[in-house]
């Protein structure tokens, strides 16, 4: 069943939570952002590989953190609000790590994850590098990976001034996961 929603109207998480159809969407400052029906096989392979590597390593060495894969709702409230009717931003990152168990509830994550990775595709690249970049930065996501299939990853780290650095590009070898001391992921294992 397809819902008829006004793409120019502003909605909240209270609205979003009632939409039980098969359309994938996010909310960005109350506005609906439609998502492609299904990512490419390459996108899914990279996302799955990254999730698997992170989950295995985090579980083995850093037990309190949890690794999640899309679809997984991340509600990013402004000013610490917790009421569904006040939250106007909900995203579904490809992969995220949440280290504060208080942020995890039965519906996903309430608050900024410590780590987010978005795997690029033609339809999402501009969105991930502009709107989501600004959103993750403003929300306090400490580490943001933008994964470019067949090319590498660009890692952005949140600085003390609340802004991301210019990003470091990794094309081969091991990529440090900066939210953990000494944790590295082999890029070749991720890219398949």
- What are the tens digits of pLDDT across the range 123-154? 667 777 888 999 999 999 999 999 999 899 99
pLDDT at 103: 96
pLDDT at 81: 85
Three-state SS for 9? coil
Mean pLDDT along residues 172-192: 91
Instruction: Compute CA distances 165 → 22, 72, 131, whole Å.
Output: 37, 26, 16
In 65-140, which ranges are continuous DSSP H helix? 125-129, 131-139
Report residue 133: phi and psi, to 5°: -55, -50
Instruction: Compute CA distances 54 → 21, 66, 98, 177, 184, whole Å.
Output: 31, 9, 12, 9, 9
Q: Give pLDDT tens digits for 19-37.
A: 888 788 889 999 998 887 7
Domains of the chain: 39-191 (3.90.1570.10)
Q: Give pLDDT tens digits for 74-97.
A: 999 988 888 999 999 999 999 999
Share of the chain above pLDDT 70, in %: 96
pLDDT at position 173 over 60? yes
């Amino acid at each position: 069943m397809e819902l008829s929603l006004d793409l120019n109207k502003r909605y909240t998480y209270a609205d979003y939570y009632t939409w039980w159809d098969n359309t994938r969407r996010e909310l960005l400052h109350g506005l609906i952002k439609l998502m492609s029906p299904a990512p490419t096989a390459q996108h899914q392979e990279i996302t799955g590989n990254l999730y698997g590597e992170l989950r295995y390593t985090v579980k083995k060495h850093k037990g309190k953190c949890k690794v999640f894969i899309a679809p997984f709702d991340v509600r990013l409230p402004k000013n610490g609000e917790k009421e569904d009717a006040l939250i106007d931003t909900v995203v579904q990152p490809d992969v995220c790590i949440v280290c504060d168990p208080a942020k995890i509830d039965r519906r996903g994550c309430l608050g900024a994850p410590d780590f987010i990775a978005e795997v690029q595709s033609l339809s999402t690249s501009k969105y991930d590098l502009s709107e989501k970049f600004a959103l993750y930065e403003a929300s306090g996501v400490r580490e943001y990976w933008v994964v470019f299939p067949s090319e590498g990853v660009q890692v952005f780290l949140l600085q003390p001034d609340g802004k991301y650095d210019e990003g470091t590009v990794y094309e081969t070898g091991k990529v440090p996961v900066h939210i953990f001391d000494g944790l590295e992921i082999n890029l070749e294992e991720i890219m398949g």
